[in-house]
A and B are shown apart, each in its own frame.
Chain A
């Protein structure tokens, strides 16, 4: 990117000139990325797979892993005329993009085997579970292969926040998010408006701007036009909701919490003006589970291209070819190809006899993997909808063993539902994962009971995963320290001989499916350029 103009003369470039240069250097995908960067609309960098024109001279490719990165690699290369073989250790495609439903079985390393016994039609996405509207690559495949989407409610004003580590009357009490947000914005606006009126901001704006700014704060914070005070707003909810006739008629307004109480409780931590980039509305999920995406791509690969239940044992390469020794049902076999795209997580690849250069191996060792845990709890009644009018979204809390309880964005108003009982990371995920599946569920249910009175009595069965203990993943996603990102990561984006690495770990969209897809697209484009030269 340096050559595209970030130097001192950059400001002198016109937008159009900049975009033309980008298109020349990086093709249409980079052009789109550049348009995003200039404010034409931001998205994950690549909006469409690379166009692979021409007939490659060396076209045999072995792809290691049938997760989203491997599937996209296999699909795009097959379309371009390559002869592809995909090796997959599991008996199904998708990698981490899994959906647990009745009969789905998982054995963690050092742990018990769980077989999911949710009712028919109920499921939990225990891997990736949401798709931001700007993840163009993921949405490219859902569109292309007709994977039906539905909205994932990622931000619910009516949901509860539950903080029990703070102080004061709001600690340890479920508080509707709308109340905390309305009150924090209201009080902040009131303070700022009053300071502004007293002249505190006069050095920063003239009289006309000050008037507009006061108008903004009055609307933003729902302040009284008369004295700029905040005394509540219908948006935070009612004591008695409006209705028919004169009783309840207009209803009764609610009273704001005290600013000190909000600050003492810690609830203010979850109030933000704009969501983080990755968490904004609009958010999607596939109808009937995340596994629909990898399944749809796999369906569009030639029959038999993916060799399931086949483990990679040894990888070697010469100047002209790559050979991979695999084991299927105890039977060894060696597959030779011109190129290899390896999508195996680095946490797993490090323990395979990979034969990669010492520089590569050192760089791989610098990528840490995230301990991550999730649990799905089947509830016999959708009490969050029936009793609390909470339709999807998250209950955030300050207990890091739980972090958030997420209510399902599907099956609205049905009888039963599966909710996410915790989503934990790092040491907390490690700690919780040391428990048996039954004890994990008990911990999750005990916590949920503090928020929802019907939690315990509605609980039926659970399915949990600790990704760091899953044999073919050994972690939720790759994590690069700043130092490793600067030194090791760039090494791995280059091929080691004829072997290319792809996957979410080889992107800046780590942990998201879009990272896997776009990494695959990038490596496929580079591999093709080289294969065309022979």
Chain B
């Protein structure tokens, strides 16, 4: 069965490459960009709208991350919160890869005077239950 699949896939794959080669108007198609893993960038994109670029949050709404004991403690705790959400914060487990979560938390734990250890993708994987999302996966969202 496995062999059959590989065989049936090959012609399709070749055809796909040929189609791309013939396309003149779609430079975005050529190669999907690597998901940005720069810690500051991942934080700015996903976290700063609430926790603010300076990590100070907004009192009564969004907790400060600068100097926060919870954030600077055992990495398993903030990893769990990013994955599962908590008390108003959304879950990011379906949206961010292990590497992206590690990057964001590394930024949080090493910025604004914070000096905790960086977070590795493996540490995130160890806390995550279930499959990580694929980078750049297309998701159809059920809206209201």
User: Is B one of A's binding partners?
Assistant: yes
Known A128-B144, A366-B86; judge A430-B50 contact (CB<8 A).
yes
Contacts of A367 in B (CB 8 A): 87-88
Count residues on chain B whose CB falls below 8 Å from chain A CBs. Answer: 44
A471 interface contact, C-beta 8 A: yes
Report yes or no: B23 in contact with A479, Cβ–Cβ below 8 A: no
Which of A270, A350, A368 has most B Cβ within 10 Å? A368
Among residues of A, the one whose C-beta sits closest to the C-beta of B138 is A398
Give the segment of B2-10, B12-20, B69-77, B120-128 that binds chain A.
B12-20
Give the segment of A6-14, A21-29, A162-170, A219-227 that binds chain B.
A162-170
Report yes or no: B95 in contact with A469, Cβ–Cβ below 8 A: no
Report yes or no: A430 in contact with B49, Cβ–Cβ below 8 A: yes
Query: What 1/0 mask marks residues of chain A from 404 to 418 whose CB sits below 8 Å from any chain B CB?
Result: 100000000000000
Among residues of A, the one whose C-beta sits closest to the C-beta of B25 is A172
A365–B89 CA distance with the chains assembled, in angstroms: 9
B118 interface contact, C-beta 8 A: no
B91 interface contact, C-beta 8 A: yes
A276–B144 CA distance with the chains assembled, in angstroms: 11
Contacts of B136 in A (CB 8 A): 165
Known A110-B58, A172-B29, A403-B143; judge A434-B49 contact (CB<8 A).
yes
Known A350-B87, A434-B48; judge A164-B19 contact (CB<8 A).
no
Interface of B is mostly: loop
B47 interface contact, C-beta 8 A: yes
Query: B46 contacts which of A346, A369, A423, A430 (Cβ < 8 Å)?
Result: A430
The number of A-B residue pairs with CB atoms under 8 Å apart is: 140
A431–B104 CA distance with the chains assembled, in angstroms: 13
A315 interface contact, C-beta 8 A: no
B1 interface contact, C-beta 8 A: no
B residues contacting A by CB (< 8 A) are 12, 15-16, 19-20, 23, 25-26, 28-29, 32, 44-50, 52-53, 58, 60-62, 84-92, 94-96, 136, 138-144
19 other contacts beyond A368-B84, A368-B85, A466-B49, with CB at 8 A cut-off?
Answer: A110-B49, A110-B50, A167-B20, A169-B23, A172-B25, A260-B12, A260-B19, A269-B138, A347-B88, A371-B50, A400-B141, A403-B143, A425-B141, A426-B92, A433-B49, A468-B50, A479-B85, A479-B91, A512-B144
A–B Cβ pairs within 8 angstroms, 25 of them: A110-B62, A164-B26, A168-B19, A169-B23, A172-B25, A172-B28, A172-B29, A260-B16, A260-B19, A278-B144, A368-B85, A369-B89, A426-B92, A430-B46, A430-B49, A431-B45, A431-B46, A434-B45, A434-B53, A474-B88, A475-B88, A475-B90, A481-B84, A481-B85, A481-B91
Q: Which 8 A-B pairs have the closest CB atoms?
A: A368-B85, A347-B88, A511-B144, A434-B49, A365-B87, A433-B49, A431-B45, A427-B95
A residues contacting B by CB (< 8 A) are 109-110, 128, 130, 164-169, 171-173, 260-261, 264, 266, 269-270, 276, 278-279, 346-348, 350-351, 364-371, 398, 400, 403-404, 423, 425-427, 430-431, 433-434, 466, 468-469, 471, 474-477, 479, 481, 511-512
